[in-house]
Amino acid sequence: MIVGVLREVAAGERRVALVPAGVAALKKAKLDVLVESGAGLSAGLSDTAYRDAGAEIVSKEDIASRSEVVLAVQTPSIELRKGQIAIAVFDPLWAPTAVPVASGATLFSLDLVPRTTRAQAMDVLSSQANLAGYLSVLIGSNELTKILPMMTTAAGTLAPGKALILGAGVAGLQAIATARRLGAVVSAYDIRSVVKEQVESLGARFVELPLDAGDSQTAGGYAKAMDEAFYAKQRQLLGDVLSEMDLVITTAAIPGMKSPILVTKEMAERMVPGSVIVDIAAERGGNCELTQAGQTIVHNGVKICGPINLASQLSTHASQLFSKNVQTFLLNIVKEGALALNLEDPIVSGSLVCKDGEVVHPQVRQRLGLGEVVA
């Protein structure tokens, strides 16, 4: 079986779907690997490194015509054909009409891999969110007009900065850990009270609000979307907490849905001038009402940063983690160098968007207004 690795062409995308170490692992599993020339350059990986790992360096056209399996980070930049298998992040719940169904290819979307113990090594959302949480704190600390750690000098003592992390998922927990390493006094809030122990284990204070969140977590471990009445009460109570903070990192995202507004314009206006909000949910509308995706704005002296595709900025390590996710996923559906799809496997069925040109994923079909799949 021939596996092709594409160079990403989306604006700002610097990652690559498979690194040289992944090539070696696939070769060991009796797969031949083609890599588009220059695919890894933005991640610091040369064509020579891929060649040394056993890959053949080819053109985009060769990838399109020769590959049975196509690997990419975002939607592949080639015209897929019937019979091909494509593995990438298609984001079908957010943009179902952009999925290349008409190609007739079989499409697996890695962002749909279920959050189970067995699937952890294939979970691209978690591996990339981890890096985004780390980088968000560095961005925020760089935008602040003060330092985060306490510092005692001959000229006086500087008090430590106060940071609040909204959302204690993978990105939020990494943001907590990073802010703590930089010396900030860290607080965190999440509607899921079950994460309190994780927050406190990292040395942060868990903010508890008098709200009835009920069953606030999905079976996959994500925070559930709540009704507007809940979010209105939450914003009212969080306003007092935000007003005391120097740095706020917002991370609340719900797969396939617009991000909930956690910080209103009025709440931001209560913050001290010079404070910073870094909204890493900017690509889905943002958790802050004032967020503008891809931009940093200043409102009443408060900076609101809306970075997008944060993991891509750390392209070397982001690619390394993504590649391991892809490699593990691919080896789960290949046996002895040939495709072996087990549709009874929840990892396979949960991530399978299209099979032979037909949308088969129930949620994606629902978003497209299609009925149930006819057996």
Catalytic residues: 115, 120, 123, 126, 222
Residue 282 CB partners (closer than 8 Å, separation 6+): 291, 292, 293, 294, 306, 307, 308
**Closest by CA position to 35, among listed 51, 14, 21:** 51
Give the separation between CA 124 and CA 332, rounded to whole angstroms: 15
Take residue 314 and report the two structure tokens written for it. Answer: 């750390």
Which of 73, 26, 19 lies closest to 41, judged by CA?
A: 19
Q: Residue 109's closest CA among 374, 354, 375, 369?
A: 354
Half-sphere exposure of 185 (CA within 13 A, CB side): 10
Q: Which two tokens stand for residue 107?
A: 């499409």
State the burial class of residue 157 (Cβ atoms within 10 Å of its Cβ: 0-12, 13-18, 19+).
exposed
Bridge partners (DSSP) listed for residue 16: none
**What tokens appear for 153 in the block?**
């000098």
Kindly tell me the burial class for residue 54, based on how many C-beta atoms sit within 10 Å of its own C-beta (0-12, 13-18, 19 or more).
middle
Task: Write the DSSP string, 32-87.
Answer: EEEEETTTTGGGT--HHHHHHTTPEEE-HHHHHHH-SEEE-SSS-SS---TT-EEE
Hey, how many other C-beta atoms are within 10 angstroms of the C-beta on 210? 6
